[in-house]
Structure 1
């Protein structure tokens, strides 16, 4: 009885992109036990950034707690802002017996696509209370060009 019903339930699950029955959940788990894990962190990057645009200026704010400005490199490559750096483990704390370490250490690199060409020579960066703020004026000469339709 259920054997004939399962294919139709599975089709509904695939159409709605969510499980319609416990059998779907089990089938998904056994076919790929850890398949959902990469999707959990798909849109998460380090450092966390906010990108905004107002009055022809793009502002990027990146959270970099515990990092010195000298340990961060900022470049613009192919209309992409690239943040590279390293968060170092404090030497004086190495003698402690840790029960848990959840803070991340090591090198990082984050690419942030920009909404258009920017004037790289006028870019400015400021570091305040663990937040890196980068202001990038948009290049008006390189703004989107309107294409007229013939005919």
Structure 2
């Protein structure tokens, strides 16, 4: 029986090699020489925040036209699809670097049941797609008035106005 010395970093190096191979395969072209390595697609970054009245999503999709975006809600899932096309000019350009991503993207978000899917607002300005999803009335926060000494808030208000007169 041979004794093999255990190297804890061997698995890390193997994982790194596999990840490098995965990213290299992803960035290679799928077709002929006319395809660019950047046409494989991209994932636009998104900010999601919420207040008592609504949930807001802001997707960063600069350089896209409004008609190239598709926003849908189906079965409490919000989907945003789009395509950023690479505009190739007729004359030969001598590109030194292409870092912007082109191609199609797809983002899906599962919505909580508190969202009113019938009341969604979408706007697009300066490369930011903003989606405002209002909450249902029963999900919005309500302020509760507190009564003093067992009196209801309305009774307490009436008594205070009588003593002032």
What interval of TM-score do these two structures reach, taking the shorter chain for normalisation? Answer: 0.5 to 0.7
Deviation at 1:68, TM superposition (A): 0.8
Consecutive aligned runs of 4 or more in structure 1 exceeding 6 Å deviation: none
Q: Extract unaligned runs of 5+ from structure 2.
A: 23-41, 141-165
Looking at structure 1, the residues matched to 138 and 90 of structure 2 have their Cα atoms a distance apart, in angstroms, of 52
Deviation at 1:121, TM superposition (A): 2.5
Change (3 A) 1:101 1:31: closer
Looking at structure 1, the residues matched to 61 and 13 of structure 2 have their Cα atoms a distance apart, in angstroms, of 36
Aligned residue runs from structure 1 range 58-137, under 5 A: 58-92=55-89, 95-137=92-134
Could you report, residue by residue, the CA deviation over 1:109-146 in whole angstroms, capped at 9, with x for unpaired residues? Answer: 11122233422221001111111110011224589xxx
Q: Extract unaligned runs of 5+ from structure 1.
A: 7-22, 39-44, 144-151
Change (3 A) 1:4 1:96: closer
Change (3 A) 1:32 1:90: closer
> 1:47 matched to which residue of 2?
44
Aligned residue runs from structure 1 range 131-146, under 5 A: 131-140=128-137
Give the TM-score, by structure 1 length.
0.65
Q: Confirm or deny that 1:26 pairs with 2:30.
A: no
Give the TM-score, by structure 2 length.
0.60
Q: Which has the larger radius of gyration?
A: 2
Change (3 A) 1:36 1:88: closer
RMSD: 3.0
Change (3 A) 1:5 1:86: closer
DSSP 3-state at the match of 2:18: coil
Q: Number of residues paired by the alignment? A: 120
Contact 2:48 2:55 in 1 (8 A): yes
